[in-house]
Structure 1
């Protein structure tokens, strides 16, 4: 995944903004790994962007659903649990609605 190269500086200059850009492209394409990376980056405010817990939670929900059993799913589960703990009921409904938007797009 190209976002990993930008995160680690493997073969390219380390660049958090580029990491997030490539993670978003892969996440929108359905990659559970990228969805977890993007969600975590949004949750923690990587690349100088303010954290957006609702948006992060939506991507992390998708990562949990789409990841195969194993380490990635467990990492995503921890991340989504942390994100959900920061949301009230209305914000959680909004996160679910955003996740549903992507579920619908992935089914097309």
Structure 2
């Protein structure tokens, strides 16, 4: 993917927040760099950890769920990620059923 096309894709991603488009762009980057499955897993973990540690998410987790993100190890962060994915998948399914 050339630089101009990548910049155009990034602008489109920012404007759309289309999760499928974001995922496809990340997959293309992974392919460009030839990452192994272990490297992809490490990148996914890093992104989730950083997302959970943003100030707004840190406060949300602490106040609403009594989770101290700094006290979680790898397994704890992956459990939070699992819960978030399950919640998101449920919302998507609910929206799809509402459209029918």
If the TM-score is normalised by the length of the shorter chain, which range does it land in? 0.3 to 0.5
- Say which one has the larger Rg: 2
Compare the two structures and name the one with the higher helix fraction. 2
Give me the TM-score of the superposition, normalised by structure 2. Answer: 0.34
Give me the TM-score of the superposition, normalised by structure 1. Answer: 0.32
